[in-house]
Amino acid sequence: MTDPCSDSVVTKMTFGYMRNGTAMSLGKIHSLFARLGSFVVLTLVLTCCNGEKQPGDRALPVSVIVMEQPAHFGSGQRPAVEFPHALHGAALKNEGCGTCHVVDDKQRIRSALVGVDETEDADRLAEQYHAVCIDCHQERADSEDPTGPLDCGECHIPRPAGISSRAMPRFDYSLHYRHVKAEGDKCETCHHVYNEEKRTLGYAEGQESACRACHGQHDEGKLLSLRNASHVECISCHLSRSAKPHPQSQNIGPVACEGCHDKEKLQAVEKLAEVPRLKRQQPDVTWISAPETGTAGRVLFSHVFHETLTTACSDCHHKTLDSCLTCHTSSGKEEGGWVTLAQAYHSSDSKYSCVGCHEEYLQNKPECSSCHHMLGSAPHESSCKNCHVGPPPASSPRIEQPSGLPVIQMAPLPGPSESFPEEVVIDDLTDKYGPSRLPHLDIVNKLDESVRQSKLARRFHARLEVLCAGCHHHSPRDARPPSCRSCHPDSPHPVEDKPGLMPAFHRQCIGCHEQLELESALGCEDCHAKAAKEVVK
């Protein structure tokens, strides 16, 4: 049986639904965009099937667009249409996108279909959409050309919901600079701001921002959604470059769905080895804090250093390129989703916050997660002063230091001593196995080496007693740690959340070994020699 989703078969094209025996359209285009917030390269509002896959779900090709009936038309009796855009694009390649789509006075491909106007009459709109699709199919059939379906059931096919394999492109520093070079440093080609007084779009040097700063999830009048604006501007530009000789004609950019939304094609896009710093009036180094706290406890933040750790400005600036204080205040406000300034900086489960980003970094590096997987995500109170080192010089709230943050110096490790032994023998549990000999100094040396190689780790672990806390948790610092048995008895405490001695040892040691993927240190006899004689208690 032929797969109806295959790009080798022209099916699933009719745009309408049946209710009480009458064809129903998908409704007014702008209304659909506003309600569903989805962009269609074809003018039709769709859902992109971004939900998680469930057993039995069908994977839809990148170019298949699912067109569903909007809520304001009620429940349609016909199932959704799966429209194979790539197949239609190939069939109409010589005729161009204007065969179906409206082309404006600037030669940009718009989302609207030719011959379809805005009407609240569902039957009338259904007729217009069916005329676009079915009339084209009929004309091709009359000319004996390959064509598509003419009956309702050939497009509205009952089947389980499909899941699109579409990936979202990321406009990172490398891709941005490729466009900068292609356009000869003309930022105005893409960046514009709205002039309220003149009611026109224009370029404002120094005010360049991300597209999402103005373009949201839905169309709002003439202000297109981010998805719509991206497709109109990007595809139209790529098409215009491909239609005429151009110095960069070998890199004109994709015009088909797969070019931007196929995972493998996205991964194959060349990454530039060197990308000049993207300057937009940002300081190299600055002090940040909540305004009402004054200068005490301010954080010295190196913008220039953190830029080297990100792939795009949006890694931190998730909407505009303004200061965090613009949207996040101590009490929160609507523009920032009522996320307070403290949460914006310290939320451990947000990829945009300082603490959340650091936490993700720690969990993704085995040499860090070997300890941190046991510590949880909440930072220890004593770590606050590692960042909150203010006040700054009274004369300079902004500090221009191209070198970034000062390098944290670490003292060398002490030599072996009674309080800093080279080896620790653990003989608390010897009923079946012999004592375990812990290479204490080797472990500390390895931890110290990892810390010295990371600027983030050096800032928080520059002191030996902080480094030791990875194993000797909840122990007083600046003192020799007490025996593990002092907190962990042979049997777990009936009330306090403290594991017994053997689970504590194994969770701590084996848990670390698992994070480091030390396969040679996961079995019993990898650490314990078997006892010569079992001890009977």
Q: Identify the CATH number of the domain in which residue 480 sits.
A: 3.90.10.10
Q: What is d(CA 66, CA 257) in angstroms, rounded to the nearest whole number?
A: 14
Same domain, 25 and 153: yes
Residues 175 and 15: their CA atoms lie apart, in Å, by: 36
Residue 405 lies in a domain: no
412 in any annotated domain: no
Peptide bond into 61 cis (omega under 30): no
Q: In this predicted model, what pLDDT tens digit does every residue of 349-388 receive, in sequence order?
A: 898 999 889 888 888 888 888 888 776 655 555 578 778 8
Residue 378 within a domain: yes
Q: Is residue 236 part of a domain?
A: yes
Residues 11-30 have pLDDT tens digits of: 233 333 332 333 333 333 33
Which secondary structure element, helix H or strand E, spans residue 445, and what is its range? helix 440-452
Q: What is the pLDDT along the chain (537 residues), one digit of tens a residue?
A: 333 333 333 223 333 333 233 333 333 333 333 333 333 333 333 333 344 445 457 899 999 988 776 566 666 667 888 999 999 999 888 888 889 889 988 888 888 888 888 767 777 777 888 888 899 999 999 999 989 999 888 988 998 888 999 999 999 999 999 999 989 999 999 999 988 888 899 999 988 998 989 999 888 888 999 988 999 999 999 988 887 765 554 568 898 999 999 999 999 998 998 999 998 888 888 888 888 777 778 888 889 889 999 999 999 998 888 889 899 999 999 989 999 999 999 998 898 999 889 888 888 888 888 888 776 655 555 578 778 877 765 655 455 444 456 677 888 988 888 888 999 888 876 677 788 888 999 999 999 998 998 888 888 888 888 888 888 887 776 667 888 888 888 887 776 778 888 888 888 899 899 988 888 888 888 888 765 444 333
> What does the angle CA 303 – CA 307 – CA 308 come to, to the nearest 5 degrees?
125
Nearest alpha-carbon partner for 241 in 232, 249, 229:
249
Same domain, 105 and 233: no
Q: pLDDT tens across 138-168, in order?
A: 999 999 998 999 988 898 899 888 899 999 9
Q: Which of residues 222, 241, 268 is at a domain's end?
A: 268
What is the distance between the alpha carbons of residues 225 and 242, in angstroms, rounded to a whole number? 26
Does residue 316 lie in a domain region? yes
Query: Total structural domains in the chain?
Result: 4
In a domain, 276, yes or no: no
Q: What angle do CA 370, 514, 530 make, to 5 degrees?
A: 120
Same domain, 121 and 185: no
Evaluate whether residue 503 is within a structural domain: yes
* Residue 524 pLDDT: 87
**Structural domain for 479, as ranges:** 424-530
- Indicate if 371 and 465 belong to the same structural domain: no
Residue closest to 155 by CA, chosen among 358, 325, 15: 15
